[in-house]
Amino acid sequence: MKYNNLSVAIILSLACGVSTFATANDLIQFNSGGFIKASEMNQNFNTLLSKIEANEVSQYVKSYDVDCTTDENALSTFMNNGYTDTFMVVNLSGDCEWSGFDINRDSMMFKGGALSPPDGGNVVIRMHNIGFMDTTINGGIHYDNGGGWLNNVAVSGVVVDGGANLAIENMNAGLDMMVQSNSRLWVSNDTVFNDLYVMNNSSLNSGDSVTLTAQYVKLSNGGFIGGDNLIVPDEKLYVRRASSVSVTNIEAGKLKVGENSTVLAEKIDANSAYVFAGGNITADASLNVQGELFVKSNGSVEGGSLESVSGEEIPASLHVGNINASLGGSVHFDTITSGEIFAFGNGAIAANYINSSEEVWAERGGVIVADIKLSAQTISAYGLGSIEAQSITNTSGIENTSPAVNIWGYGAITVAKSTNDALNNAVCENYDNGDVPIFFGFNDDTSTYDFPWLCNYDSPEVP
């Protein structure tokens, strides 16, 4: 599943000016809305270099060698010469100081060697179509409103800022990445980040079958990540303030989604998940949470579906350690398998099948609904909490068996077409202990619901 719903805004002057010195078939064309690989940009430059050697485009493209082996300031001397070639390729050797000059022109590629900004700081790029290939940067790089590409570059961190556009490929593992302020990042192959931030109406898109791995990922203020695989194995994937993730697979230690943000994937695996303040998680195939799924404050977690080869809709399933839905939070899947299931304060949990190895518990306006079957060790409805099911049995799944039942404070248990005498008796025994069950049973003889199910006790009378 690949999502290409964002407009791509890189227009390379390299492609725009190609008709002046090469045929359209010679270079890869980059158009608005296209997906750009750093390797394709490099391919264009290499094509131009071959034409230079053949003396076909020498008036437009020049290649220069800069040797910093014995003079670390050789690059500064070169850059201050004021070359005016349409495209420049700078072949570096040695370790060059990145100081004493500004990049004040578009369309350059620095290839090979090493670059050392002062005090281990950043190489700052404010122009367009500035690329680096097979280079070591002894510090970070900051694209500010400009753009370009990085291919096989070793660097400590990358900032894409101020509406910049950047494509990366074959990067070193463990770099920090920040994409912010209406900027765009394209990732062409598997990449391992340390910290990854996408913020302020910025986006990160990756190619087909690409896996993005990071120790920590945060999206905020309209950030977007799209692609195939996103892995945050130990730490947090945090999506907030109207941000979104749309990928095929997610693996995360902690998944936190809130403030009207969304996470959409076919399959999601997490150690824990917390959804709040209008946040949403949708899994089209499965959501697996080893620990607790906590949904509150109008957050929602829901299952979609996938279409099989035969065209059949296959609904998603939820497997979780425990579920807690409160304060308007909601969970809705076809099948829910969990330990404790708790709906509190107008929280809602609904499925066709609910299977709990522990207690299903609704309190203070919480609602739990199993349209077909609910299985649990214990069912409890307190303080206007409501549990509804077509049928209820204990976790063993054996027919005509009942979980333990607790009802008080106008809690309600609704069972449609219940012929489970053990369940009926458990409810009546709970009433006999002084609590007041509100229990609906379906009368097959009259095809109506009895309210309440008559427990056949003489005193006190069932209201």
pLDDT of 333 strictly over 90: yes
- pLDDT for position 234: 83
> How long a stretch of residues is the chain?
463
- pLDDT for position 58: 59
Q: What is the DSSP string of 93-136?
A: ESEEE--S----SS-EEEESSEEE-GGG-EEEE-SSSEEEEEEE
* Block residue for tokens 């005090």: 119
- pLDDT for position 179: 98
273-284 pLDDT, tens per residue? 999 999 999 999
- Domain spans of the chain, in order of start: 1-189
How much is the average pLDDT of 399-414? 76
Question: From CA 96, how far away is CA 75, in angstroms rounded?
Answer: 6
16-58 pLDDT, tens per residue? 344 444 444 566 655 444 455 667 766 766 776 676 666 665 5
- pLDDT for position 437: 46
In the chain, % of residues over pLDDT 90: 62
Question: From CA 160, how far away is CA 125, in angstroms rounded?
Answer: 10
Instruction: Count the neighbouring beta carbons within 10 Å of the beta carbon of residue 137.
Output: 24
Question: From CA 350, how far away is CA 353, in angstroms rounded?
Answer: 9
Question: From CA 318, how far away is CA 331, in angstroms rounded?
Answer: 9
In the chain, % of residues over pLDDT 70: 77
286-326 pLDDT, tens per residue? 999 999 999 999 999 999 999 877 888 999 999 999 999 99
- pLDDT for position 13: 37
Beta strands in 214-358 (DSSP E): 216-220, 224-226, 229-239, 244-246, 249-258, 262-276, 280-296, 300-303, 305-307, 313-315, 317-326, 330-332, 335-338, 341-344, 348-356
Omega within 30 of 0 (cis) for the link into 460? yes
Question: From CA 440, how far away is CA 418, in angstroms rounded?
Answer: 9
Contact between 237 and 230 under an 8 Å Cβ cutoff? The reply is yes
Question: From CA 132, how far away is CA 117, in angstroms rounded?
Answer: 15
Give 448's pLDDT tier (boundaries 50, 70, 90).
low
- pLDDT for position 311: 84
Q: Is 85 strand, coil or helix?
A: coil
Q: Which of 79-93, 213-227, 395-409 has the lowest mean pLDDT?
A: 395-409
Of 276, 327, 273, 318, the closest CA to residue 299 belongs to 276
Residue 225 bridge partners (DSSP): 204, 245
Question: From CA 286, how far away is CA 214, in angstroms rounded?
Answer: 22
Beta strands in 304-459 (DSSP E): 305-307, 313-315, 317-326, 330-332, 335-338, 341-344, 348-356, 359-363, 367-376, 378-382, 386-389, 392-394, 404-408, 412-415, 438-443, 448-450
What is the per-residue burial (b if ≥16 Cβ within 10 Å, else e) of 22-39?
A: beeeebbebeeeebbbbb
pLDDT of 442 strictly over 60: no
How much is the average pLDDT of 378-388? 88
Higher pLDDT, 368 or 445: 368
How much is the average pLDDT of 213-227? 98
Instruction: Count the neighbouring beta carbons within 10 Å of the beta carbon of residue 295.
Output: 29
Higher pLDDT, 15 or 252: 252
The conformation of residue 19, written as its DSSP 8-state character, comes to: G
How much is the average pLDDT of 225-253? 96
* Block residue for tokens 């919480």: 366
159-202 pLDDT, tens per residue? 999 999 999 999 999 999 999 999 999 999 999 999 999 999 99
Question: From CA 160, how far away is CA 177, in angstroms rounded?
Answer: 8
Contact between 366 and 386 under an 8 Å Cβ cutoff? The reply is yes
**If you count DSSP H runs as helices and E runs as strands, how many of each does the chain have, helices first?**
4, 40
- The whole-chain average pLDDT of the chain stands at 84
Question: From CA 109, how far away is CA 46, in angstroms rounded?
Answer: 10
* Block residue for tokens 């005193």: 459
Entry pTM? 0.85
Provide the residue type at 352 as one letter: N
Provide the residue type at 451 as one letter: F
What is the per-residue burial (b if ≥16 Cβ within 10 Å, else e) of 68-85?
A: beeeeebbbebbeeeeeb
- pLDDT for position 404: 86
Contact between 76 and 63 under an 8 Å Cβ cutoff? The reply is no
Higher pLDDT, 387 or 115: 115
The end-to-end CA distance of the chain, in Å, is: 56
pLDDT of 418 strictly over 60: no
* Block residue for tokens 């000059």: 101
Of 341, 331, 325, the closest CA to residue 303 belongs to 331
How much is the average pLDDT of 142-168? 95
- pLDDT for position 46: 72
103-117 pLDDT, tens per residue? 999 989 999 999 999
28-37 pLDDT, tens per residue? 655 444 455 6
Cα of 139 vs its chain's centroid, Å: 29
- pLDDT for position 82: 86
Instruction: Count the neighbouring beta carbons within 10 Å of the beta carbon of residue 397.
Output: 10
